[in-house]
Amino acid sequence: MRDALGGLFNITLLFTFLFLITGFVLFGINYYKAFSVKNKIITTIEQYEGNMSNPKLKEKIEPYIRRLNYNARISENMVNNLKSGNDLEWDCNTFNDLGFCFAKDTSSSNTCLSTFLVKTFVNTDVPVFNSIFSSSSLFSVSGETKVIRSREDSCR
């Protein structure tokens, strides 16, 4: 009987260790996806000089997101946390729920210069994990573009 209980303890310890390592690896993969998507979005915004209404911008971002299988869901709670933190106008719905938000930062005194802030979220779609960490804004990746000069006539 003593050997059976010792074997049960060892198997339980082994499965716990495997569960922790697997969870860490999966989180790392999802973090990498969020980081890569953020970098692609920033690069694309810089290429199109901040023109977020350009349909070609979406045509470049969406296939990349689909190819990486990045599927973070943005909840209303996350959007409210973004909007309550500062006075920026965060937009999470323009690109049909692709899992990122952006905001145009025009806080500088020169209205012709602006930067875009981009925030992507790490997919933590694990039931036990979601009950412990209800706000997934803990696990987000943010970045900003270089300063972009506006192409409006008043800025030329």
pTM: 0.82
What pLDDT, on a 0 to 100 scale, did the predictor assign at position 37?
95
What pLDDT, on a 0 to 100 scale, did the predictor assign at position 2?
62
The residue ranking higher by pLDDT, 125 or 69, is 69
Q: How confident is the model at residue 26 (pLDDT cuts 50, 70, 90)?
A: confident
Lowest model confidence (mean pLDDT) among 54-58, 65-69, 138-142: 138-142
Of 126, 125, 122, 127, the C-alpha closest to 138 is 122
pLDDT value at 135 more than 60: no
Residue-level length of the chain: 156
Burial string for 64-74 (b: 16+ CB within 10 Å, else e) reads ebeeeebebeb
